[in-house]
Amino acid sequence: MTTDTERRSWRQNPDAVKQDILTVALSEFAANGLSGTRIDTIASRTRTSKRMIYYYFGDKLGLYTRALEAAYHKVREGEAALNLGHLPPKEALARVVSFTFDHHRKNPDFIRMVMIENIHNAEHLAASQVIHDMNVTAIDKLAQICRRGQEEGVFREGLDPVALHWQISAVSFFNVSNRPTFSAIFGDALFDEEGQQRVRQQMVDAILAMVTRPEAAR
Amino acid sequence: MTTDTERRSWRQNPDAVKQDILTVALSEFAANGLSGTRIDTIASRTRTSKRMIYYYFGDKLGLYTRALEAAYHKVREGEAALNLGHLPPKEALARVVSFTFDHHRKNPDFIRMVMIENIHNAEHLAASQVIHDMNVTAIDKLAQICRRGQEEGVFREGLDPVALHWQISAVSFFNVSNRPTFSAIFGDALFDEEGQQRVRQQMVDAILAMVTRPEAAR
DNA sequence: AGAGAAATGTACTGACTGGAACATTTGAAC
DNA sequence: GTTCAAATGTTCCAGTCAGTACATTTCTCT
């Protein structure tokens, strides 16, 4: 004799379940932060149950860490799309800068995850080996451009690729991360399509002007 | 006949109590975010009790909003210290840039509050009239410098003070806000005293190069 | 086909936490 | 010195939420 309660049958699909959870988790964590996110909310947005979150990810922090890694992974994939061929150094650099700017704009969830990580002093990121390994390529690309630019005599000596990356990231990141407060205070003229074109160009100009040899300035 | 329980006597001091709460609240909110902060923790760090928090600030959001305003207030006070006299435009601008960079570094709690506000899409900041009124002076200062620079023929035409402020803020802000993730990934060479000097100078160079008339470049 | 492991469903709990109820004391004005 | 409002202390609660216990089903291997 069986129980009275109707039991549902289901089809097992571990990978899809994991992926489903991760996708929802990323969007929830990005939207609400670590302590602002509710596991129950994530669960309700998935096709599965809270039970499975704990089954696959252990606890909230485990899930968060995996979501963070997923965010980095997704963004790095997009970056691989950038191919500089053998453009002249100045064009190549301009291309990198523009690309970074646009790429950040297109990935607000990634930006938000990084913001949240910074609030938490990057402790989960530091714990993730996965992420650490993923991030050197950006620097390599810049280093190559710098070297070529210097060999051809159009760039200044003593450029530091990391410092250059820092500056490019700063503006591209801030443009997304601080849009809410900035536009709340100064209006959103900089954030419509035309405004974004302008600030993007302004950044390209600034970076190029900075790396270019004074004598070689057009 | 009185009750058996010992009742403590105390001295009333509303202003000091409010101030005490606000100071602690700011530091807690800056450290842990809005949902990460516990009212009980704030209470335990004050000289008074949780009761008084609700008495003076209504609820958690009320306290948070006031703490946010306090953060802005404190930082704006510091900014007023900057006096440009009548330096030549290029020097004045360089001074503003350097100052902003240093000032942000010296006020990490403010930065963190702004980060947190951005996570929340600036909804509390937008609701605060106080803050909105406080923020125009920075732009005015830049606008004046730009005008003088253009009159003297050393700056390009078509400069937008807001866009300029945006760029200066971006780098100065990012330098503090994203230090944890950046140094976790790329090392902290940029964040010791010498590294900070370098990136600061790099930013000054970039901004000056950008606003300077091509012909007028030394 | 059956046995054991992997995957999933359902219901529950213990701790935490924002906030409120109730009681008392201080201070100022008359 | 009485009165009344403002300020403070003490205690508790009702909802929330991360995490768990227990039961069941599906899958895989032989």
In this complex, the nucleotide whose C1' atom is nearest to the CA atom of residue A5 is C10
Strand partners, A155: A212
**B63, B96 Cβ separation under 8 angstroms:** no
B206 contacts in chain A (CB < 8 Å) = 167, 206-207, 209-210
CA–CA gap between residue A121 and residue B178 (Å, rounded): 9
Interface check B206 vs A, CB under 8 A: yes
SS3 content of chain A, % helix, strand, coil (to 5): 70, 0, 25
Determine the residue among A34, A124, A174 to mutate to test chain B binding: the one whose Cβ has the most chain B Cβ atoms within 10 Å. A174
Q: How far is B19 from chain A (nearest CA, A)?
A: 25
Flag whether B110 is in a domain. yes
Chain D nucleotides covered by protein, CB below 7 Å: 6-11, 16-22, 24-27
Runs of H (alpha helix) within A120-186: 123-127, 129-134, 137-151, 161-177, 179-186
CA–CA gap between residue B16 and residue B48 (Å, rounded): 10
B137: CATH: 1.10.357.10
- pLDDT tens digit sequence for B161-195: 999 999 999 999 999 999 999 999 999 999 999 99
In this complex, the nucleotide whose C1' atom is nearest to the CA atom of residue B18 is D7
pLDDT at A3: 34
pLDDT band of B6, cuts 50, 70, 90:
very low
Interface check B163 vs A, CB under 8 A: yes
pLDDT at B3: 34
Helix (H) or strand (E) holding B174: helix B161-177
Mean pLDDT of B2-29: 79
What is the domain count for chain A?
1
Dihedral (Cα; B139, B141, B143, B149), 10-degree rounding? -150
Q: How far is A11 from chain B (nearest CA, A)?
A: 38
Interface check B61 vs A, CB under 8 A: no
Cβ-defined contact of B184 to A126 (cutoff 8 Å): yes
Flag whether A29 is in a domain. no
b/e per residue, B136-172, with b = 16+ CB within 10 A?
eebeebbbebbebbbeeebbeeebbbbbbbbbbbbbb
CA–CA gap between residue B168 and residue B216 (Å, rounded): 22
Residue A212 has phi, psi (to 5 degrees) of: -75, 140
CA–CA gap between residue B113 and residue B31 (Å, rounded): 9
Nearest CB to A181; choose among B114, B170, B205: B114
Flag whether A1 is in a domain. no
Mean pLDDT of B10-16: 84
B19 touches strand D (CB under 7 A): no
B131 contacts in chain A (CB < 8 Å) = 185
pLDDT at B75: 92
Q: Is A212 helix (H, G, I), strand (E, B) or coil?
A: strand
B3 touches strand D (CB under 7 A): no
Mean pLDDT of B81-108: 94
pLDDT at B4: 34
Dihedral (Cα; A121, A127, A131, A132), 10-degree rounding? 90
One-letter identity of residue B43: A
A48 touches strand C (CB under 7 A): yes
Flag whether B56 is in a domain. no
Nearest CB to A170; choose among B115, B175, B198: B175
CA angle B92, B95, B131 (to 5 degrees): 100
pLDDT at B134: 74
pLDDT in 10s for each residue of chain A, 218 residues: 333 334 456 778 889 999 999 999 999 999 999 999 999 999 999 999 999 999 999 999 999 999 999 999 999 989 888 988 789 999 999 999 999 999 999 999 999 999 999 999 999 999 888 887 777 888 999 999 999 999 999 999 999 999 999 999 999 999 999 999 999 999 999 999 999 999 999 999 999 999 998 765 54
Flag whether A194 is in a domain. yes
Flag whether A162 is in a domain. yes
**B103, B138 Cβ separation under 8 angstroms:** no
**B125, B34 Cβ separation under 8 angstroms:** no
**A114, A173 Cβ separation under 8 angstroms:** yes
**CA distances (Å), B90 to each of A10, A114, B10, B142, B210, in order?**
71, 35, 58, 11, 11
Flag whether A112 is in a domain. yes
pLDDT at A4: 33
Flag whether B207 is in a domain. yes
- pLDDT tens digit sequence for B118-141: 999 999 999 888 887 777 888 999
Cβ-defined contact of A118 to B198 (cutoff 8 Å): no
* Domain membership of residue A77 as a residue range: 68-211
